[in-house]
Amino acid sequence: MNGREKQKQKLLILYASQTGNALDAAERIAREAERRGCPVTLLSIDCFNAGSLPYEENVIFVVSTTGQGDTPDSMKAFWKFLLQRNLSQRWLEGVHYAVFGLGDSGYQKYNFVAKKLDKRLLDLGAVAIVERGLGDDQHPSGYEGALDPWMSSLWNTLSKMNPKFFPNGIDFLIQDAHLIDPPKVQITYHDVDKVHSHFSTDSDLKCIEMQIERVRSMHPGKFSRDKNRPDCFLRMVENHSLTRAGCEKNVLHIEFEVLSSAIEYAVGDIVEVLPSQSPIAIDTFIQRCNLNPESFITVHPREMENHLPNANINDSKIPIKLKTFVELTMDVASASPRRYFFEARILFFATAEHEKERLQYFASPEGRDDLYQYNQRERRTVLEVLEDFPSVQMPFEWLVQLVPPLKKRAYSISSSQLAHPNQLHLTVNVTPWTTPFKRKRTGLCSKWLAGLDPQQGVIIPAWFIKGSLPAPPPSLPLILIGPGTGCAPFRGFVEERAIQSRSGSTAPVLFFFGCWNEDNDFLYRDFWLSHSRNGGVLSEEKGGGFCVAFSRDQPHKVYVQHKMRENSQRIWNLLCEGASIYVAGSSTKMPSDVFSCFEEIVSKENGVPRESAVRWLRALERAGRYHVEAWS
């Protein structure tokens, strides 16, 4: 028996989360292990040195899949390290691992990250403890429908591997009350008379920028390692509807003036906007939690070993108003709380017996499905949950830790900087949706933007990031598929190519657009039609075209795929000329349906079996000629 076996066995749990679900699942696995007496170290994967993986004995990976099979941002460096060619097939010899993935079977590359991580770990010599688990958002209980049986298998196998994992057996459970550890954050309250808060009153853009950076850097959430200082500020100059009044959809065209001359963006780029929360919701939350909005606070991590060092640690200690902290960092009236909010914490602070009973039921295996229905499916907000359980009084430290962080909202830019040098345009869908219990919901940011009047002069913090649609050179033929608001980035593509065509030759552009009705939601109708005539960028004279599918203007549904099949020969000709394919829009079925349509076209026009067409398209993806940007 070696030295490691003599020691008490422990688990390292590494998570890679984009929206917080993988963190929630990882915390749940950690809690269940600790309840059985097994020590756990829980880390975000970007806080772990990939080079030290061979020195770990038992590692649990909890990873989500984003977009069209992409790794979460926090995992990109770790994954790049694992792909190094100099790592041998015995590099991870002696390492035991398990993988649980979170995905959505509505996507073409369902749980792709978990699958490829599992394969790579095996290739490097690691041994799987149990078969990988795959959580599915489409399951009636969400990812937890797969997590519970997977955890049961994990505990059984670990116990058989080494009984020291669970000294009292897997059925022995420590009560949650004994596992209530201190919150991960510490809040210091400052004497108002001694605080000189320059940032709370100064409206200068630079000061607002610094305030946002300091407040968001103070928060323990995931974005504390993101870029917290805005790239620029935007001021709205135009806000009008693209859809007919009274129809089911409400899509807006919004134009902003960029309040910085140094900002550059390319077509296909994404702008992230920090939304403003409802003042009524903020005040209600503060009042419900018995907080003093005027108090000045600083927020510090209680322990530093699991946090990246903060280069501006001294700056982050500048006191900030509690109300400002809540406004800029805590999503109180939009995002649903994670399961951990219910399982131990809110239950621990409830005083009314009937509320405790209901929360205990939600935290039990029997109540799992009902909790999922009550919380995630209904998109219940933190404020609504707290109002449903009025006896709960949580300390502010726990609220800071458990309330979902206020996240930036990403939008495809629908303009070209060549066409609009100091502007940025967005296409924003503000159509409400209905929950299973028939409650109306609207996106936080889209609703806020829709309600802004350009005359108000509201300043909006913004960040620029690269998306999945690289800006094409003018010589590259394009096949664009953008139904609904998926047309947004392609408006910028067409604007840019129109300007480029004035000074030189440009390659053809073939664009497929789809909507419900010609009269109701034909977004940017005049724009597309003007560029498809008189030798425009989308005209047949230039070798391109504009094809539109109105899905509900006839008894049978007509989608972009139908229009693609009608233009099968033109698509194949452009592909033979080296065209790149760009797809943008809803992430549900559209991307996979469009890919399937391309399979048909390649198979038919090239006279090859369907399997060969799939391989041909996969080669196109690897060559960087098939791009997808999809959103839910």
| Kind plus residue range of the DSSP H or E element containing 387 | helix 382-388
Q: What is the pLDDT of residue 395?
A: 93
Does the annotation list 157 as a binding residue? Answer: no
Output the six-digit token pair for 410.
Answer: 């990403």
Residue ranges in 17-75 assigned as alpha helix (H):
21-35
CATH number corresponding to 185-302+317-402: 1.20.990.10
Contact status, residue 581 vs residue 96, Cβ threshold 8 Å: no
Does the annotation list 385 as a binding residue? Answer: no
pLDDT interval class at 520 (50, 70, 90): very high
Contact status, residue 428 vs residue 254, Cβ threshold 8 Å: yes
DSSP type of residue 349: T
Amino acid (1-letter code) at residue 549: A
Q: What is the pLDDT of residue 10?
A: 87
| The pLDDT of residue 450 is above 70 | yes
pLDDT interval class at 562 (50, 70, 90): very high
Does the annotation list 409 as a binding residue? Answer: yes
DSSP type of residue 132: P
Residue ranges in 223-367 assigned as alpha helix (H):
279-288, 322-329, 339-340, 347-348, 353-363
CA distance 386 to 370: 17
Same topology for domains 11-161 and 185-302+317-402, yes or no?
Answer: no
Q: What is the pLDDT of residue 196?
A: 59
Q: What is the pLDDT of residue 230?
A: 92
Q: Name the CA radius of gyration of the chain, rounded.
A: 26
Does the annotation list 445 as a binding residue? Answer: yes
DSSP type of residue 434: E
Does the annotation list 19 as a binding residue? Answer: yes
256, β-bridge pairs:
236, 424
Q: What is the pLDDT of residue 35?
A: 83
Does the annotation list 594 as a binding residue? Answer: no
Backbone φ and ψ of 64, nearest 5°: -100, 160
522: left (phi over 0), alpha (psi -120 to 50) or beta: beta
Q: How many CB atoms are closer than 10 A to CB 286?
A: 18
> In the chain, where are the structural domains located?
11-161, 185-302+317-402, 478-630
DSSP reduced 3-state for 321? strand
Highest mean pLDDT of the ranges 115-119, 177-181, 368-372, 430-434: 115-119
Q: State pTM to two decimals.
A: 0.86
Does the annotation list 560 as a binding residue? Answer: yes
Does the annotation list 21 as a binding residue? Answer: yes
Contact status, residue 332 vs residue 279, Cβ threshold 8 Å: no
Q: What is the pLDDT of residue 339?
A: 80
Does the annotation list 356 as a binding residue? Answer: no
- Could you write out the DSSP letters of every residue in 439-478? -EE--HHHHHHHT--GGG--EEEEEEE--SSPPPPTTS-E
Q: What is the pLDDT of residue 184?
A: 80
Does the annotation list 377 as a binding residue? Answer: no
Q: What is the pLDDT of residue 305?
A: 39
CA distance 610 to 613: 5
pLDDT digits (tens, 9 = 90+) for 154-173: 999 999 999 889 888 887 77
Does the annotation list 485 as a binding residue? Answer: yes
DSSP reduced 3-state for 90? coil
Contact status, residue 298 vs residue 187, Cβ threshold 8 Å: yes
- Nearest C-alpha neighbor of 91 from the set 64, 122, 132, 116: 122
| The pLDDT of residue 341 is above 90 | no
Q: Select the more confidently predicted residue: 22 or 431.
A: 22
- Nearest C-alpha neighbor of 165 from the set 276, 38, 73, 253: 38
Q: What is the mean pLDDT of residues 270-299?
A: 96
Tell me the pairing of strands 96-103 and 127-128.
parallel
Numbers of helices and strands, H then E, in the chain: 21, 22
Amino acid (1-letter code) at residue 214: R
pLDDT digits (tens, 9 = 90+) for 601-615: 999 999 999 999 999
- Nearest C-alpha neighbor of 158 from the set 100, 96, 114: 96
Highest mean pLDDT of the ranges 24-28, 226-230, 575-579: 575-579
User: Among all chains, which residue has been given the structure tokens 């490691």?
Assistant: 4
Q: How many CB atoms are closer than 10 A to CB 614?
A: 16
Does the annotation list 593 as a binding residue? Answer: yes
pLDDT digits (tens, 9 = 90+) for 115-157: 999 999 999 999 999 999 999 988 877 888 899 999 999 999 9
CA distance 489 to 270: 9
Contact status, residue 429 vs residue 241, Cβ threshold 8 Å: no
pLDDT digits (tens, 9 = 90+) for 203-212: 578 888 888 8
CATH number corresponding to 478-630: 3.40.50.80
Does the annotation list 376 as a binding residue? Answer: no
Highest mean pLDDT of the ranges 35-44, 230-239, 309-318, 360-369: 230-239
User: Among all chains, which residue has been given the structure tokens 């913004």?
Assistant: 462
Q: What is the pLDDT of residue 8?
A: 60
**pLDDT > 90 in the chain, percent:** 69
pLDDT interval class at 194 (50, 70, 90): low
Rounded to an integer, what is the distance from CA 429 to the centroid of its chain? 17
CA atoms within 13 A on the CB side of 259: 17
Does the annotation list 22 as a binding residue? Answer: yes
511, β-bridge pairs:
480, 546
CA distance 75 to 73: 5
Q: What is the pLDDT of residue 302?
A: 75
Does the annotation list 411 as a binding residue? Answer: yes
Q: Is the domain 11-161 a CATH 1.25.40.10 member?
A: no
Who's near 510: CB < 8 A, 6+ residues apart?
Answer: 478, 479, 480, 538, 544, 545, 547, 567, 570, 571, 574, 579
pLDDT interval class at 202 (50, 70, 90): very low
160: left (phi over 0), alpha (psi -120 to 50) or beta: alpha
Q: What is the pLDDT of residue 140?
A: 78
Does the annotation list 561 as a binding residue? Answer: yes
| The pLDDT of residue 197 is above 70 | no
Least confident of 367-381, 491-505, 542-556: 367-381
Does the annotation list 261 as a binding residue? Answer: no
426, β-bridge pairs:
254, 413
Does the annotation list 559 as a binding residue? Answer: yes
Does the annotation list 64 as a binding residue? Answer: yes
Who's near 258: CB < 8 A, 6+ residues apart?
Answer: 232, 234, 422, 423, 424
| The pLDDT of residue 554 is above 80 | yes
Packing angle of the helix pair 322-329, 279-288 (nearest 10 deg): 120
CA atoms within 13 A on the CB side of 360: 11
pLDDT digits (tens, 9 = 90+) for 461-514: 999 999 889 999 999 999 999 999 999 999 999 999 999 999 999 999 999 999
CA distance 487 to 481: 8
CA distance 591 to 109: 10
Does the annotation list 229 as a binding residue? Answer: no
Task: Share the mean pLDDT of the chain.
Answer: 89
Does the annotation list 442 as a binding residue? Answer: no
pLDDT digits (tens, 9 = 90+) for 240-259: 999 999 898 999 999 999 99
Contact status, residue 622 vs residue 520, Cβ threshold 8 Å: no
Does the annotation list 446 as a binding residue? Answer: yes
Does the annotation list 551 as a binding residue? Answer: yes
User: Among all chains, which residue has been given the structure tokens 């929630």?
Assistant: 24
Q: What is the pLDDT of residue 168?
A: 83
